[in-house]
Amino acid sequence: MWEAGRSNVNTTYEMASSGHAIGFLVAVIAIAAFYIIPDSDPRIVQLQSQVNTLTSEVVGLFSRENVAKATSPENVEDSGKLFTVDSLKAFDGSKNSPGLHIAIMGKVFDVSKGEKHYGPGGGYSFFAGRDCSKAYVSGDFTEEGLIPDVVGLTPQYMVGIDDWVSFFEKEYTYVGKLIGHFYDDQGEPTPNLRAAHKAIEEGRKLKSDEADHRNKYPPCNSEWKQSSGLRLWCSNRSGGISRDWIGVPRKLFNPGTNKWRCACIKESELHNPHLRPYDNCPPSSASCVGDA
Ligand code: HEM
Ligand SMILES: *[C@@H]1O[C@H](CO)[C@@H](O)[C@H](O)[C@H]1NC(C)=O
């Protein structure tokens, strides 16, 4: 199931979301790809938008129509049992086991209805009876990867884990907490959990800032032909951002790295100091022959 994606990190994460997508779990990593791939080359920018289109198509493919009603996390927090690492281990869905549970971020869920995934012989049976929070975003399903410790993951990856938690809250039944990494023996959050929540919040903020930025400076369309070279142009839906304006192509510089990408700029934003016009491009033309 997951092996196919292992050869390509980006693919792995897109598929991770699409495998269980409910529509809201959109690939964290399609966005991470924007960090990993330097975006100075407009041809790469186009590739990225193709990857995004692909992601949303695949997400649509796997989307479920009937999603179980969400249990509100507030009701759920203080009910339920406390598990130890050892007591949870028994819940692997095997013949004489007491049930089939997984834990993520210290929250334990009854996943009996997902037995085909998590039960013995299922593609994700390694998640059963334990907390493997990190592996839900790393895709590292070796013993070293199947751990609760999420220290060192970027805020964006932390959002990915939080999306998985929401997925389990919606799809499955919350049953309690796992004592250890994220909760103490009184069921109170540990510093690990508080740090993780802080990182998630930071990640959500980053993502919303990014979305604002993308809406303000949508990527250009691009096309490369042997005969005419690179053409860059704006439309009212370039970069996958539908809008009631078109804009003109400009190089948008990232102040930190001095790399640039092509952005469609509204007239009122043309004074932005991080913009430079393309050579050989009329200043108010929506279409340019680019210099890469
Ligand atoms: C980080 C990597 C990945 C993780 C953590 C992951 C995790 C999961 C989990 C937990 C499920 C069960 C969801 C449920 O309870 O309904 C699942 C289902 C699934 N996954 Fe993945 N997965 C990953 C990568 C992939 C890749 C690369 C593919 C495809 C090449 C894939 C294909 C599927 C499919 C087809 C399903 C079944 C969906 C269904 O029957 O509803 N997964 N995945
Ligand atoms: C985008 O442009 C097309 C025609 O090129 C037009 O039909 C459509 O209404 C425009 N969309 C918006 C949001 O303005």
Q: What is the DSSP string of 114-181?
A: GHHHHSTTSTTGGGTTSB-TTHHHH---STTTS-S--TT--HHHHHHHHHHHHHHHHHSEEEEEEBTT
Which tokens in the block code for residue 174?
Answer: 């919350």
Does residue 1's CB lie within 6 angstroms of at least one atom of ligand 1? yes
pLDDT at residue 192 is higher than 90: yes
221, 235, 236: which to mutate for ligand 2, most atoms within 8 A of CB?
Answer: 236
pLDDT at residue 65 is higher than 90: no
Confidence of residue 256 (pLDDT cuts 50, 70, 90): confident
- pLDDT tens for each residue of 110-132: 999 999 999 999 999 999 999 99
How far apart are alpha carbons 39 and 238 in whole angstroms? 16
Cβ 79 vs Cβ 34: under 8 Å = no
User: Residue 110 forms beta bridges with which residues?
Assistant: 101, 173
Res 77: pLDDT: 52
- pLDDT tens for each residue of 138-163: 999 999 999 999 999 999 999 999 99
Question: How far, in Å, from the CA of 28 to the mean position of ligand 2?
Answer: 29
Q: Which atom of ligand 2 lies nearest, measured to the CA of 237? A: 1
